Amino acid sequence: MRRYYIRQKMKSLGAFLIILILFPYIVSVFVNGTDIRAGSDGSPHVKVRTAGAGGEETVVELGWNEYLAGILAREMPEDYETEAMKAQSVLIRTSLYQSLENSEDKILSEEYMPRSAMEKKWNLLEYKKYYRKYLSAVEETDDMVLFYGDTYAWAPFHQSSSGMTRSAEEVTGSSDYPYLAVRECPLDKEADNEIQVFEFEYREIQNLCREFLVAEEGKEAAETGYSFSDFEIQSYDSAGYVKSMRIGETVCTGDRFRDALSLPSSCFSFSESEKGLVVTVTGNGHGLGMSQWTANEMAKEGNTCEEILQFFFEGTTVNREIQETDLL
């Protein structure tokens, strides 16, 4: 009888110790949910090159779905519709598979928002809700990717267009991307920060554009300075983005001028002020591929992920990637 009593006490003690050991896990599951824990989604891991605390590069391993959800969180606002997020997930996944296919070391470098940053951005309750939303968009599209013919499609995206997306042939001079054509997006006119105004001193523009200004002209401008007459827009593409412009005697693309001045887009116009040059910019991003704003508005109207993708990438197909184990 005494031995039985001792065995029962030992069993009770063992059960208590197991509960004690598992208690942090149980709390974590209760607070965050089983699908938020590292590696719990069952997806394979991928190597990601990222900047360390001291700025040095380091390589970390992340769950594939967690990595995609982190990129999605960085690229699309948390209050966007689920179908828009799913369309964005397909584009992100397509680009990553392209990178993996062309990479020898299979290390990716696309920036993402780690869960620690999400938790810092939102409180714990909101973080839990938003992370689930991003992760669900990734999981619900599973291994969906965008193909053109038998190859991955080029899958660019931007925040909002000028009211029309751009033709890849006009931008790149190549006919390899016929599915990236002009698409009317009138709802982009209502997008956040759709029209922004910037003012620059002429000397400031000269310094920012120094790399591509004609050498002799740069010397002359350094002595005399630019004036409003030195800036001329020569041509636009069919979506209203600046195709060619002149700075003094230098001719450059609108995209190059946008990059030099860190403008939101290359759909802009010039005017003059007492300070110097006023640049009025419409849209956010390069204007190619999917407009996130219009994608979200389409989702609000009941369009599915597939319908959104077909609107912006007509002629492509949404396939299931069957080479995952070879690429990851």
Share of the chain above pLDDT 70, in %: 81
- Would you say residue 285 has pLDDT above 60? yes
Cα(274)–Cα(86) distance, integer angstroms:
47
Per residue in 180-221, pLDDT (tens digit) is 999 999 999 999 999 999 999 999 999 999 888 875 555 565
- Residue 77: pLDDT over 50: yes
pTM: 0.83
Map residue 208 onto helix, strand or coil.
helix
Closest CA to 64 of 51, 48, 52, 88: 48
DSSP one-letter string for 283-325: SBS---SEEHHHHHHHHHTT--HHHHHHHHSTT-EEEE---HH
- With beta carbons less than 8 A apart as the criterion, state whether 92 and 68 touch: yes
Cβ atoms within 10 Å of 133's Cβ, excluding its own: 17
CA 83/CA 128 separation, integer angstroms: 20
Cα distance between residue 271 and residue 15, in whole Å: 77
- Per DSSP (E only), the strands in 57-97 are 57-63
* Weakest mean pLDDT among 46-55, 86-95, 243-252: 46-55
Residue 10 region by backbone torsions, left for phi larger than 0, else alpha for psi between -120 and 50, else beta: alpha
Residue 41 confidence (pLDDT): 60
Q: What is the mean pLDDT of residues 288-295?
A: 98
Give the pLDDT confidence score for residue 322 in this predicted structure: 54
User: Among 65, 83, 85, 66, which Cα is nearest to 75's?
Assistant: 85
For 56-75, how does the pLDDT look when each residue is reduced to its tens digit (9 = 90+)? Answer: 888 999 999 999 999 999 99
Secondary structure of residue 174 in the 3-state scheme: coil
- Per-residue confidence (pLDDT) for residue 9, from 0 to 100: 53
Q: Please, are residues 202 and 226 in contact by the beta-carbon 8 Å criterion? A: yes
Q: What is the largest CA-CA distance in the chain?
A: 106
Does residue 8 have a pLDDT over 70? no
Residue among 200, 215, 209, 193 nearest 259 (CA): 209
